[in-house]
Chain A
Amino acid sequence: MFDRRLVTHFDWWFAGMILGMACLGILTIYSANALAVSAFRRTLYLRQLTWVGIGVVAMVAACLVSYRTLARIAYVIFGLSLVLLVLVLLIGKAGLGAHRWIRIGGLAFQPSEFAKLGLVLFLARYFDDHRERLHEPRTMLVPAAFTALCMLLVLKQPDLGTALLLLFIALSIMLMLGLHWRYLVPFAVGGAAIAPLLWMVLKDYQRRRILVFLNPNLDPLGAGYHIAQSKIAVGSGGAFGKGWLAASQSQLNFLPLNHTDFIFAVLAEQWGFLGCLVVLLAYFYLISKGFRIARDCTDLFAALLSAGVSVMLVIQVLTNTAMVLGMMPVVGIPLPLLSYGGSSLLITMLGLGLLLNIHMRRFMY
């Protein structure tokens, strides 16, 4: 029994926008590496193309099953992503000194990406189950504990950026749910108390990144160098950019990580202010649409899920671009849909697929 309204309620604009952004990502990755010395680098865009294909399938799959079914297996999915996080610490492949990848066949993926969506699903389901007991403080214990566990596992990799992202996602969902502002005060106080402790746990490169942000002249070759070169790349784009494949700054290896975390700089150099404006507007459209879907939900699980996915997206977009523009420390957060990286792309497309799913079934429940 297929409901025809599912088709009429499918948001083609929204889906088209996602696909368009993913394609823009491929073009940018292609140009960022077109002059690379490594032949492997020059073919990265083909890999990203493969991942976009996988992402589209995942998005369609995420639309097909009702989100109600998803709610039923939310805990299982979360459990699975925890297992993957443990696994990556045991058998993970090291990249830049961190254990972040698990390799299956020819594809490497990052369990920390899956953990983002897993955590959102878990929290949405948990709060939906305990909606009558939200006023009891001990209801908060379980989500707080599991969020902390996720964060610890990710910190161990070590991946500070993603760990903080998980914290913000969890806090935002609680706020969305109606957590009183004043209960955030303990968090703030606790945070200030833990900060020195955290400082000791941080790896050298993480400390350097924070210090460099506070004083960019401290270390112009490490993270400070990233920021300086990134600003030159962005600024030199001017109003209309240098054009595709004509961006010397980001192509000539002055800018490291140009196809992953700093892809926005490549984009800004090539398409200038105008291009950035269009891209940012596209992101704003996707994100605000996500929040509108959350607002229109009659079902708490769906509302929290769509709000969670939107929060996940918006934090990544804002922190990544702010970092590229030299307004934030360099943290390893990719730009959703645009950055090179299969796991991030797949999870983003899955998440957006869930938004489509909730949107097209809004009349059913």
Chain B
Amino acid sequence: MEPLFRPPAQAITPRIQAAVLCIGVGFLILLFRLWYLQILDGDRYFALSTNNRLRVRPVEAPRGFILDRNGEILVENRPTFDLYTTPEDVTDPKEVAGILAEILGASPGEVEARFQEGHDRPYQPLLLRKDLDERMMVAVERRLDLPGVSLHVRPVHAYPSGGAAANLLGYVSEVNQTQLAREEYQDFLPGENIGQAGVERRFDAFIRGIDGGEQVEVDARGRALRLVSRIDPRSGSNVYLTIDKRIQDAAEAAFAGKKGTVVAMNPTTGEILAMVSRPSYDPNLFAQRLSGEEWQRIATDPSHPLANRAFQAQYPPGSIFKLMVAIAGLESGALTPETKFYDPGYFYLGSARLDDWKKGGHGWLDLRGAIVNSCNVYFYQAGLKVGIEDIVKTAREFGLGEPPGLGDEAKGNLPDPQPRKRGQPGWSAGNTVVASIGQGLVVTSPMQLLAMVSAIASGGTIYRPWVVKKITSLSGEILDEYEPEPMRHVPVKPETLAFIRQAMLGVVNEGTGTRAKVPGIPIGGKTGTAQLVRKGEGKGQADLKDHWWFVSFAPVDSPQIAVVVLVENGGFGGQVAAPVAKAVYEAAFGARQPFPRPGTRTAEANEPDIED
């Protein structure tokens, strides 16, 4: 048999010579090809390159749908018509500009100026107006014979329920100048659309799909003579959220006319079931080309409609923070369920008198009673007994003062008690007293409080909040699926949490939160008021009313849903915030479809059997 190898010493030299010979031939072939393209055919190609008769027109891919956890549509597509011009093809700019200006209700100068903008990108159609209304459509269709004018149909995302969940869903608009300068956007052209906030931005790569294109041969006036070829755009993927549309709708309805936020979450998984932030905006507006003024109006609105208050805003937690004082005390032993303090209606710290919210006071209270009645005087004394260090330590364990894990979040603040130093005002007993009822330096986002109450509900595990459940292709194939992700476990004794849950049940059944009561469903809650420091100075009163909180979960013995409600400048605490939570629970538990759906972690046997 012939050997596999010739000895290398003999083989290498001749084979290298052969290789170099072959390579030389390869280079010669390339040179011949170049000669053919550049010398023999050069003139033809030169002509082709100066007058590109074959035009490529991108065809924007339809964005994928955004659906709720049960497949209900939250965001779909609708067709829109955009008016384009190719300036090189416009024979008489003055006349054409005049006609178009009349149709669009703009000034001829404006349209003519647009014709001038295309010089650095010859033969590319320039957008004149997005999303024509019906009247303009009819007028334009009659004048499509104008050279250099064309109408393109384009699918855009439509948000059937307008501003509902808008801050969570986000909106789509053209890539802006700042973005174009960045690396992530290097493949974007001006005028291309991109998800700009919320889910639309975070999952843009999945939702956007792959644009197609049309290659069109045009005549000397730029009109399409014939479609040479077309690649169909590939529609984007569908994104299923963890949101439950029924709960979302109920929360939106209950929150109508209010400012603030409502968030509902499954405390045993971290799935966000509903997220309302008000005031918000109508994402449909962004499909049109927003004028600079309109954009300015939204962006500089003093009520910040673009911010998602659920996790991008922060407020003093008020009485909600008493839960942290109670847990810290129970854990350190400074408090027991039997610890009693007397509330005469006021509390003297040195010579400063602090009133309880209830005139005449609550009298003798134990810890449960203090939580149920949200007694300030009790917690002033309890806070001093527990000490600020332990309170802050417990609050940190519950994730306060840290971003909750959704991205772009407010991280809140916890006080950093420093002993009094010479010449500097350090931490004082007064500070502790104020912090014990969640005022002063304590600041939290609604999402942080929701995570906190979820930990109390679920037995100490805090899950990363998540909003996207899965992503599927158009054919239904699952491209990506997300799972609950435990972020931290709060090292608190189960008895402590059980006690707190029972006390919170008392809040709703007999205390400050009775407005949240839903017959047949044991709900645990806690009310709170965020006092604004400037209150009482007498200017701009409407904006300076207190904010009202209600955090809660249900059912108390096997929690499936936790809700945080924050009403800005709301009026009267439990009266304003608690009914919103009630509406959420009614939607969650009252529906025919059992909740959560089969396959989630909670045993169905625990579910209350309620019909309304």
Contacts and interface: CB of A to CB of B under 8 A. Distances in A.
A179 B19 CA distance: 14
Interface in B17-54: 17, 19-20, 23-24, 26-27, 30-31, 33-35, 37-39, 41-46, 48-50, 52
Contact of B3 (A127, A180, A254, A318): A180
Interface stretch (B7-15, B257-265, B280-288, B363-371): B7-15
A134 B11 CA distance: 12
Contact of A300 (B5, B8, B214, B228): B8
Given A239-B39, A322-B30, A178 B12 contact: yes
Contacts of A69: none
A236 B17 CA distance: 36
Contact of A178 (B7, B33, B120, B181): B7
A321 B30 contact: yes
A25 interface: no
A291 interface: yes
Interface stretch (B182-190, B245-253, B429-437, B454-462): B182-190
A184 B17 CA distance: 19
Contacts of A180: 2-6
Contacts of A176: 11-12, 15-16, 19
Interface string A215-240: 00001111001000001111111110
Contact of B42 (A127, A237, A295): A237
A273 B38 contact: yes
B23 A287 contact: yes
Contact of A248 (B20, B34, B49, B56): B49
Contacts of B229: 219-221
B10 to A, nearest CB: 7
Given A238-B39, A268-B34, A295 B45 contact: no
A288 B56 contact: no
Contacts of B27: 280, 283-284, 318
Given A221-B215, A248-B49, A294 B44 contact: no
A284 B3 CA distance: 33
Given A135-B4, A234-B45, A236-B42, A177 B33 contact: no
Nearest to B22: A314
Interface string B182-216: 11011111100000000000000100000011110
B37 A134 contact: no
Nearest to B120: A35
Contacts of A284: 23-24, 27
B49 A233 contact: yes
B230 interface: yes
B42 A248 contact: no
B290 interface: no
Contacts of A179: 4-5
Interface stretch (A1-9, A36-44, A113-121, A355-363): A36-44
Given A39-B181, A41-B186, A135-B4, A238 B10 contact: no
Interface in A203-261: 219-222, 225, 231-239, 248-249, 252-254
Given A220-B215, A288-B23, A295 B38 contact: no
Nearest to B189: A37
Nearest to B183: A40
Interface residues of A, number: 66
A327 interface: yes
Nearest to B19: A291
Contacts of A38: 180-181, 185-188
Interface in B41-76: 41-46, 48-50, 52, 56
B16 A232 contact: no
A310 to B, nearest CB: 8
Contact of A177 (B8, B13, B46, B188): B8
Contacts of A41: 186
A277 interface: yes
Contacts of B120: 35
Contacts of A178: 5-8, 10-12, 15
A37 B185 CA distance: 11
B15 A175 contact: yes
B16 A307 contact: yes
Contacts of B41: 235
A235 B38 contact: yes
Given A273-B34, A273-B35, A235 B50 contact: no
Contacts of B205: 94
Interface in B148-189: 180-183, 185-189
A325 B187 CA distance: 24
A235 B215 contact: no
B231 interface: yes
A298 to B, nearest CB: 10
B12 A238 contact: no
Contact of A303 (B2, B12, B49): B12
A250 to B, nearest CB: 9
Nearest to A256: B187
A239 B16 contact: no
Contact of A327 (B16, B33, B189): B33
A325 B30 contact: yes
A183 interface: yes
Given A273-B39, A284-B23, A325-B30, A252 B121 contact: yes
A238 B481 CA distance: 54
A279 B8 CA distance: 33
Nearest to B38: A273
Contacts of B190: 37
Instruction: State the 4 A-B residue pairs at the shortest beta-carbon distance, nearest first.
Output: A235-B45, A178-B11, A236-B49, A39-B181
Interface of B: 2-8, 10-13, 15-17, 19-20, 23-24, 26-27, 30-31, 33-35, 37-39, 41-46, 48-50, 52, 56, 120-122, 180-183, 185-190, 205, 212-215, 228-231
14 contacts: A37-B180, A38-B180, A135-B3, A176-B16, A180-B4, A180-B5, A220-B215, A221-B214, A232-B45, A236-B50, A252-B121, A295-B12, A307-B16, A318-B30
Given A176-B15, A236-B48, A273-B34, 5 more contacts: A37-B189, A172-B19, A219-B231, A276-B31, A280-B27
